[in-house]
A = this chain, B = another copy of it.
Amino acid sequence: MPQVRVEKVCSDPEVHLIRIDDDRIKYFEATWDIPEGITYNAYLMKLKDAVVLFDTAKGDYTDLFMEALRKLVDPKEITHIIVHHTEPDHSGALPKVLEENGYRAQIIGTAFARNLLQGFYGEKVVENFRVVNDGEEMQIGGKTFRFIAVPWLHWPDTMITYVVEDKLIFSCDAGGGYGIPESIDDSDGKVVEEYLPHVTKYIVTVIGHYHKYIVQNIKKLKELGIIESAKMILPGHGLVWRKNPMRIFEHYERVGAGIPTKDKVLVIYDSMYGFVEGRMEIVIDELKKLNKKPIVYRFTDKEASAVSDILGEVPDSEALIIGVSTYEADIHPRIRYVLYEIFDKTNYEKPVLIVGAFGWGGVAGKKIEGLITTSKFDLVDTVESRGMPAKEDEEKLREGVRKLVSWIS
C-alpha cells in the first residue's frame, strides 16, 4: 500500500498537507509510463469557524485518505470543500468524505465542475454545491478566498484558489509533477533538481495537448499580480513550493514555451535489423564532433523506450533527429505512435532531421515530412536510403547533421 504523509505546511493559517505517495501506479491516465510514481496532494485549512478541505484523493485510496483526514479533523467539522478540478485522481474520495461529513459542507467549484461531479458520482454529491465564477471572492473563516479559472489546465473545469491575506495559491494540477519527492517542499535544492524533469514529463503528457493554455494562464496570473507575490504554492501533485514559489511557474512557462537547454539534441529511432542503427551511429558521432549532446531513445528487438519519457525530453531540446524504418509502406509502428504523441503533446517550433532506411522503397521519410508540415516543427532535411549505409550515405548523413546544427546556431 502507498504511504500517506500528513504534515503541517503552514502555521498561520494552519494548513496541513495530506499526501498519498502512489508507488503502485504504472500508467497515469492508463497510458503514460511513470515508474517514478506520483503523489495526490490534498490540503486541510483550519480557520476560526471554518474547516476547508482542498480536493481529496484517487478513489482507490479512499480508505487511506479518510484515515489520514480523521487524524486531523472529525470529517463532520469540514465546512467547505473546494474542488479545483474534478478528475478522479483528486475527486475520487469526495463521495466518502461527504458521507462521513453528513453532507454538511458546501462544495465550491466552477459550473463545469458541478456538472462533471454530478455525472461522475450522482446527484447527492452536488446537492450543496456553490458555483463560483472566475475572479469571484468569498469570505470563509475570516479570510478572502479568490477563485481564478484556469481553463484547460488541463480540463475545462479547472480553477485555482488564492487566499488573499496570506498570499497562498492552491493550484491543483497546475504546478504539479510526477514523482514521489523525498521531501514535501522545495527546501532541498537536490530534491528540486531531481524532481523538475518529472514535472516536465507531467506537463507534456497531461497538459501538453493544451500547452498554449499554460502560457496564457500563467500570463493571466501574472497580470493579476498573484504569482510574484505568492508566499506558497500548494499543488495537487508533488512538491509544495515555499522557499522559492516563483520557480515552479517559471518552469511551467519554460516548458510551455519550449525553451531549449543549450546543445541538447533529442535522437529517437527504431531499428529492426541494424540498418537504421548503422546510420544513427554516424549521426551521433557527427553530433558529438559538433559539441552537441545527443539524448538517445531507441526501439529495437531488445529495447522499447517509454513514449512518456521521450515526450518529457522534447520541450528543452534544441532539435530532433528521427531515425526510421519504412515498414509496410508506412512509418515503423512505434515511431508513428511516438510522432503522433509528439505532434499532439509537444508541438514546438524546433528543427527536425529525418534519417530513413528501407528495403524495397523509402516511404517513411515522405510520410513524416507530411506530418511535420501540419505541425510547428521545421523540416531541415531527409536522408533516406536502402539497407546498410554506404560510403556516400555517410557523407549525406554528416551533411544533414551539420545543416541541423547550423539551423540551431
Contacts and interface: CB of A to CB of B under 8 A. Distances in A.
Interface of A: 24-31, 58-59, 86-89, 92, 112, 115-116, 119-122, 155-157, 209-210, 270-275, 299-304, 325, 327-328, 332-334, 337, 341, 359-360, 386-388, 390
A273 B302 CA distance: 32
Oligomer copy total: 2
A273 B360 contact: no
B299 A31 contact: yes
A386 B92 CA distance: 15
B274 A25 contact: no
Contacts of A29: 272, 301, 327
Contacts of A27: 299-304
A273 B388 contact: no
A155 B359 contact: yes
30 contacts: A25-B301, A26-B301, A26-B302, A27-B299, A27-B301, A27-B303, A27-B304, A29-B272, A29-B301, A29-B327, A30-B270, A30-B271, A30-B300, A30-B334, A31-B270, A31-B327, A59-B273, A86-B359, A87-B359, A88-B272, A88-B273, A88-B274, A89-B273, A92-B273, A112-B360, A116-B359, A120-B275, A120-B388, A156-B360, A157-B360
Nearest to A385: B119
Nearest to A157: B360
A331 to B, nearest CB: 11
A387 B116 CA distance: 8
Given A116-B359, A116-B360, A328-B209, A301 B28 contact: yes
Contacts of A116: 359-360, 387
B30 A272 contact: yes
A30 B332 contact: yes
Nearest to A273: B88
A119 B304 CA distance: 27
B115 A360 contact: yes
A330 to B, nearest CB: 8
Given A30-B270, A120-B388, 19 more contacts: A25-B302, A26-B303, A27-B301, A29-B272, A30-B272, A31-B299, A31-B332, A31-B334, A58-B273, A59-B274, A86-B359, A87-B273, A92-B273, A116-B387, A119-B386, A121-B388, A155-B359, A156-B360, A157-B360
A342 to B, nearest CB: 12
A25 B327 CA distance: 19
A388 B300 CA distance: 40
Contacts of A26: 301-304
Contacts of A28: 301
Nearest to A390: B122
Contacts of A120: 275, 359, 386-388
Nearest to A152: B328
Nearest to A358: B119
B119 A359 contact: yes
A157 B302 CA distance: 26
Given A270-B30, A302-B24, A304-B27, A333 B341 contact: yes
Contacts of A341: 333
B155 A360 contact: yes
A89 B274 CA distance: 11
